[in-house]
Amino acid sequence: MKKLRIGCIGVGRLGYQHAENVAYRIPNAELAAVCDINMDRAEEAARQLGAAEYYGDYNEMLEKSDIDAVMITNTSSEHCACIKAACAAHKHIYCEKPTGLTIEELDEIDKAVETNPGRTIQVGFMRRFDRSYQDAKRRVDSGDIGKIIKIRSITRDPACQREDYVRFGPGAGGMFFDMSVHDFDLVRWFAGGEVKSMYAIGGIYEFTEFEAFNDIDNCSVLMQFDNGVMAEVEGSKQGVCGYDVWMEIVGTKGTLLVNSGTTSYVTQKDEYGMRNECQPWFRERFEEAYLREVAAFVDKALTGEASGVDTGDARKAVEMAFMAQKSYDDGKIMCAQQ
Ligand SMILES: NC(=O)c1ccc[n+]([C@@H]2O[C@H](COP(=O)([O-])OP(=O)(O)OC[C@H]3O[C@@H](n4cnc5c(N)ncnc54)[C@H](O)[C@@H]3O)[C@@H](O)[C@H]2O)c1
């Protein structure tokens, strides 16, 4: 069986999970190398996951002609430079969201991708590979709930991860780019149109340490698409019951609810009432989606096909993050043509 030989750039929280999937759970892929600016982490990951090589500098790894593809899973502020270098080295590319953090970076990425024809490029919007979101999309597309009126996409990260937010925040781009970008991609996917107008509000309600890197801990973004569909995106770092991610789609003939994940089908009934345990964090809630998205990338790269979620989709989602940031900063409704 032909295997796609992959090098992973950045083996932190998510990069390690993707690398582990490639090493053990995707039969037509091989983890050829790992890279991390933290060489100890790179060495440890290579040892644990059986990668033959490890690097501290991704440019050195990209020189290896026997590496077919790279997964760019390092800090978001590094993605644009990595995509450009991987395109120059003619690799297939899987890149975590967001691709770029400025319009200039998005333009540079578009140019770089044009110079790398015949290679698959996919961006990590894993909710599109989650079975429940896919099921909801199938129902919307088959007209089960009629014409779509409004979509709500909610992401509440667990408050207990506060320390990690402070560590991770400075290179992540802020709430709209790092977190809500998932919801922007989803509402655009479900609405089947492009955003026409948007208004974003929010602020720091609890995590005052976010001021140091100009971020907020809660936001609410209202928008309308060019086909009339309304949408609302909510982002919060203060999920009290764990990782609380869900979506509601209201149509003329029915409503779909993509529920927040629970860890099991067990409901506990006791003196406090009835409860289900929530998913603790993104890795557990989207464990299968992370595997399915990288497996799909590997299949596409081996057959030379374009990926379903490419830098064009990623650009649209990041542009929506820009609109939201500008609306929030200026306190104004943004219109797409502005
Ligand atoms: N799709 C999702 O649900 C999801 C979830 C979490 C993170 N992410 C994305 O994944 C990416 C990584 O996030 P994380 O949570 O794993 O972060 P992390 O900080 O835990 O890990 C990043 C790793 O990249 C390394 N790194 C930084 N710059 C590097 C460089 N120039 N070359 C090589 N290695 C470098 C760091 O040393 C670290 O080990 C981010 O872009 C983030 O937005 C996506």
Q: Is the CB of 75 under 6 A from ligand 1?
A: yes
Q: Which tokens is 1 given?
A: 């069986």
Atom 11 of ligand 1 has which residue's CA nearest to it?
Answer: 73
Q: How many CB atoms lie within 10 A of CB 43?
A: 16
pLDDT of 321 > 90? The answer is: yes
**Measured from the CA of 124, which atom of ligand 1 is nearest?**
1
Instruction: Pick the closest to residue 329 from 237, 246, 244, 215 (CA basis).
Output: 215
Q: Write the pLDDT tens digit of every residue in 259-285.
A: 988 888 999 999 999 999 999 999 999
Residues of the chain with CATH 3.40.50.720: 4-127+289-310
Q: Is the CB of 317 under 6 A from ligand 1?
A: no
Q: Quote the percentage of the chain above a pLDDT of 70.
A: 100
Question: Kindly report the CA angle at 266 between 162 and 235, in degrees rounded to 5?
Answer: 30
Look at residue 260 in the predicted model and tell me its pLDDT.
87
Asked whether the bond before 27 is cis by omega within 30 degrees of 0, the reply is no
Look at residue 51 in the predicted model and tell me its pLDDT.
98
Look at residue 261 in the predicted model and tell me its pLDDT.
85
Q: Is the CB of 255 under 6 A from ligand 1?
A: no
Atom 33 of ligand 1 has which residue's CA nearest to it?
Answer: 36
Helix axes 103-114, 79-88, angle to 10 degrees: 10
pLDDT of 15 > 70? The answer is: yes
Distance 10 CA to ligand 1 centre (A): 6
Distance 59 CA to ligand 1 centre (A): 17
Q: Write the pLDDT tens digit of every residue in 136-182.
A: 999 999 999 999 999 999 999 999 999 999 999 989 999 999 999 99
Q: Which helix (H) or strand (E) holds 154?
A: strand 148-158
- Distance of alpha carbon 132 from alpha carbon 297, whole angstroms: 20
Distance 116 CA to ligand 1 centre (A): 24
- Distance of alpha carbon 266 from alpha carbon 212, whole angstroms: 42
CATH topology of domain 4-127+289-310: Rossmann fold (3.40.50)
Q: Which helix (H) or strand (E) holds 6?
A: strand 4-9
Q: How many CB atoms lie within 10 A of CB 47?
A: 11
What is the mean pLDDT of the segment spanning 10-36?
A: 98
Look at residue 253 in the predicted model and tell me its pLDDT.
98
Atom 1 of ligand 1 has which residue's CA nearest to it?
Answer: 124
Q: Is the CB of 231 under 6 A from ligand 1?
A: no
Q: Write the pLDDT tens digit of every residue in 176-213.
A: 999 999 999 999 999 999 999 999 999 999 999 999 99
Residue-averaged pLDDT of the chain: 96
Distance 75 CA to ligand 1 centre (A): 4
pLDDT band of 305, cuts 50, 70, 90: confident
CATH superfamily of 128-281+318-335: Dihydrodipicolinate Reductase; domain 2 (3.30.360.10)
Contact call for residues 21 and 8 (beta carbons, < 8 A): no
Residues of the chain with CATH 3.30.360.10: 128-281+318-335
Q: Estimate to the nearest angstrom the gap between the alpha carbon of 242 and the chain centroid.
A: 19
Q: Is the CB of 58 under 6 A from ligand 1?
A: yes
Distance 270 CA to ligand 1 centre (A): 41
pLDDT of 338 > 70? The answer is: no
Q: Write the pLDDT tens digit of every residue in 58-115.
A: 999 999 999 999 999 999 999 999 999 999 999 999 999 999 999 999 999 999 999 9
pLDDT of 337 > 90? The answer is: no
